A and B are shown apart, each in its own frame.
Chain A
Amino acid sequence: MISQNTIIIGILVVGIMILLVFLVRVWLLVRRLNVSFGKLGFLVREDAKKYFDDAAEKLVDTNEQFQERYKKIVEEGTKTALAEKSMVTEKILVDAHSKANTIILTARTDAQQIIQAAHKEADEHAEKTLQRTGGAIAWVLSQYLHETYTVEQHEQLIEKQVRMYVDEHRQ
């Protein structure tokens, strides 16, 4: 005989089994849904990309077209203006040329003046430096001579100079 306890346990086991199966199914469904969402996202992204690329291409095209049109308008306008106002344009060009020349000349003069000033300053500086050097040389020389020249050497030089002086002034 099957006892009552055994029946209860069997019912519980079956119930648990049914629950497990149900849970496994739910898990499988969720996973499948996830994959589906992933695929959907990819598709959406790809679509968006395609859309924006198309839009960018259109924008570039529009710009290029606009630029070409703008260029044409300017060229045609300029041609017309030049044809109609040739005298005025010529004057403007001459004035511009003259102004450009003046600016170039001024710049050149400025540059020359700057160069001259720099040269002058350099020359003055060099002159001063050399003079100072000259003074230093003279001082060192005088100190050296005071210390090293004997009276005999002084006298010999003086005698030589006096002889030269006498020869020059002899009538």
Chain B
Amino acid sequence: MSTDSKSVQTPSEEQLAKAQEIMSVLNACTLNMPKEQTLQELHIIVERLTFIKESREGDLSESIIEDVLGGDVSEDVMKFVRWMYHRKVLGLLTGQHGRVFLRYSTRYYRKIKEIHCITAVALRESSRIKLLTHLRTIYPEPARIVFEEAPSLVLGCVIDDGTNRVDMSLMNESPRLIHKYITSLRPTRSSVHGS
């Protein structure tokens, strides 16, 4: 156990390269997911795989992994788990390695910017890709762009990058436009009063 701890504390270049590769795959798989959800699902994966690994002998099969995680983990994160399995590094998601991986991921994602694009209707895939292409010009990877649906907006969208929220929805714009209309009515009304 002490040997494991030492190796985690002072990672070699090879380990660092492997960690970077893992993180880039994780990012690629979960690029459209909220950071919070990604971390929650990683937490579930580490807990369950650790429990299964400790409670049975031998390597975990793909079917066991599907049984243990299926239904509670999104397809995007399952892609990452399958990749880890085929890459034969699934052990990094269990036990002490798994906990270190979770801490690292938490620190990593804390620095990553997350942009929420909230729309009044659910967008089709083609439209999402178009919008992603536009937004990537100002929010390059590894920033996350997450699409959400909020029918209460009625029309248009809201873009929230964590520090700045731009609401271009009709729900937000209509009071301003109505107020503008009311203000434009005022002089006419007072002139009527005056006469």
**Which residues in A have some Cβ–Cβ distance to B below 8 Å?**
119, 122, 126-127, 130, 134, 137-138, 141-142, 145-146, 149, 151, 154-155, 157-159, 161-166, 169-171
Secondary structure of the A contact surface, majority rule: helix
Residue of A nearest to B137 (CB): A166
List B contacts of A119 (CB < 8 A).
Answer: 193
B:107-132 near A, CB below 8 Å: 117, 119-124, 127, 130-131
Q: Is B17 an interface residue (CB 8 A)?
A: no
Q: How far is the CA of A162 from the CA of B122 in the complex (A)?
A: 15
List B contacts of A127 (CB < 8 A).
Answer: 182
| Contact A155–B127 (Cβ < 8 Å) | yes
Q: Determine which of B131, B137, B138, B151 lies in contact with A158 in the assembled complex, contact meaning CB atoms within 8 Å.
A: B131
Q: How far is the CB of B63 from chain A (nearest CB, A)?
A: 39
| Contact A170–B178 (Cβ < 8 Å) | no
With A149-B155, A158-B123 already in contact, the answer to whether A163 and B174 are too (CB < 8 A) is: no
| Contact B130–A159 (Cβ < 8 Å) | yes
Additional 4 contacts, C-beta under 8 A, given A130-B185, A162-B159: A134-B182, A141-B174, A159-B134, A166-B138
**Which residues in B have some Cβ–Cβ distance to A below 8 Å?**
117, 119-124, 127, 130-131, 134-135, 137-138, 151, 154-157, 159, 166, 168, 170-171, 174-175, 178-179, 181-182, 185, 189, 193
List A contacts of B154 (CB < 8 A).
Answer: 141-142, 145-146
| Contact A166–B121 (Cβ < 8 Å) | no
Residue of B nearest to A143 (CB): B154
Q: How far is the CB of B2 from chain A (nearest CB, A)?
A: 49
List A contacts of B127 (CB < 8 A).
Answer: 155, 158-159
Q: How far is the CA of A122 from the CA of B194 in the complex (A)?
A: 13
Q: How far is the CA of A122 from the CA of B135 in the complex (A)?
A: 49
| Contact B170–A161 (Cβ < 8 Å) | no
| Contact A165–B155 (Cβ < 8 Å) | no
Q: How far is the CA of A127 from the CA of B186 in the complex (A)?
A: 10
Q: How far is the CA of A162 from the CA of B137 in the complex (A)?
A: 11
Q: How far is the CA of A56 from the CA of B124 in the complex (A)?
A: 112
Residue of B nearest to A169 (CB): B138
| Contact A165–B159 (Cβ < 8 Å) | yes
Q: Determine which of B123, B157, B170 lies in contact with A141 in the assembled complex, contact meaning CB atoms within 8 Å.
A: B170
Q: How far is the CA of A156 from the CA of B27 in the complex (A)?
A: 29
With A157-B156, A158-B156 already in contact, the answer to whether A134 and B134 are too (CB < 8 A) is: no
Q: How far is the CA of A149 from the CA of B121 in the complex (A)?
A: 10
With A137-B174, A158-B156, A162-B131 already in contact, the answer to whether A170 and B137 are too (CB < 8 A) is: yes
List A contacts of B189 (CB < 8 A).
Answer: 126
Q: Determine which of A126, A134, A151, A161 lies in contact with B156 in the assembled complex, contact meaning CB atoms within 8 Å.
A: A161
Q: How far is the CA of A142 from the CA of B153 in the complex (A)?
A: 9
Q: How far is the CB of A168 from chain B (nearest CB, A)?
A: 8
Q: How far is the CA of A169 from the CA of B124 in the complex (A)?
A: 25
